[in-house]
Amino acid sequence: MTGSEETPSFRLAYVPGVTPAKWVRIWHERLPGVPLALHQVTAAEAAGTLRAGDADAGFVRLPVDRAFFSAIPLYTEATVIVVPKDHVITAAEEVTVADLADEVLFHPLDDVLDWDAPPGEPAFERPATTEDAVELVAAGVGLLAVPQSLARLYHRRDLTYRPLTDAPQSTVALSWPEEATTDLVEDFIGIVRGRTVNSTRGRQSDQEAQGSQAARTQPKRPQKAAAAGRGSQGRGGGGGARRTQSAKPAKRGKPRRRS
């Protein structure tokens, strides 16, 4: 079983727009003997991939089924409206949903924004993917609201975007099946949470384990010797200081004889 101690490896799924490079780099630094395989999946495929055991954990977009998955929310993205560079909307620094009332807005089948009702005029069809919708925006037949990371991912020179201030937003989380919380999953949770090497839960690397064992087998300094050292320091510096500060006794002369 992948992720077990018999065959140590870790499979990480991630959805478009998420950049896992930072966490992967830390993983390789801390666990160089454990391969990490990346699998990009669509937002719609992420839950099924984790349920089927095809990945040990994944960066997904909320919501997830909390009855089956554990999830650690990481960040919430700003939502933007993607438009052609010569569109009138580019004259504004930011846009509201009300500003889109007369615009054709694409609502792709893989849309990750939880709209109660998509704004604007409905498009003639729902594109299969966000990437397809971006191509249609470039053709000048409509606009598209997406998380900012997706606007950057599918960037084109003839398109730009503006913040959509009152639209739904998408939250990215680290998620995994709750009943499959392995040692390697714990290791990755520690990395994502920013724990240091010493505080990371889960298994230690062989080098860390050997270092800990060596520290435990080092002979301890005898307590008596340490105490003796402390005592000599007190008699040397401290005692001398006290004698210097005390007043010298007055000299007493010899008693005079009576004649």
Tally of structural domains, the chain: 2
- Shared domain for 32 and 140, answered yes or no, is no
* Band of pLDDT at residue 59, cut at 50, 70 and 90: very high
- Shared domain for 115 and 35, answered yes or no, is no
- Shared domain for 127 and 176, answered yes or no, is no
Residue 134 lies in a domain: yes
pLDDT, residue 233, reads: 46
Full DSSP string of the chain: -TTSSSS--EEEEE-TT---HHHHHHHHHH-TTS-EEEEE--TTTHHHHHHTTS-SEEEEES---TTTEEEEEEEEEPEEEEEETTSGGGGSS-B-GGGGTTSEEE--TT--S--SS--SEEPSS--SSHHHHHHHHHTTS-EEEEEHHHHHHT--TTEEEEEBTTS--EEEEEEEEGGG--HHHHHHHHHHHT--TTT--SPPPHHHHHHHHHHHHSPPPPHHHHHHHHHHHIIIIIHHHHHHHSPPPPP-PPPPPP-
Task: Give pTM, 2 decimals.
Answer: 0.73
pLDDT, residue 117, reads: 86
Residue 256 has pLDDT above 60, yes or no: no
Residue 87 lies in a domain: yes
CATH number for position 182? 3.40.190.10
pLDDT, residue 144, reads: 97
Give the range among 56-65, 157-166, 213-222 with minimum mean pLDDT.
213-222
* Band of pLDDT at residue 188, cut at 50, 70 and 90: very high
* Band of pLDDT at residue 118, cut at 50, 70 and 90: confident
Residue 213 lies in a domain: no
- What residue numbers bound the domain in which 149 lies? 79-168
Per-residue pLDDT of 146-168, as tens digits, reads 999 999 999 999 999 999 999 99
Per-residue pLDDT of 227-242, as tens digits, reads 444 444 444 444 444 4
pLDDT, residue 196, reads: 81
Residue 236 lies in a domain: no
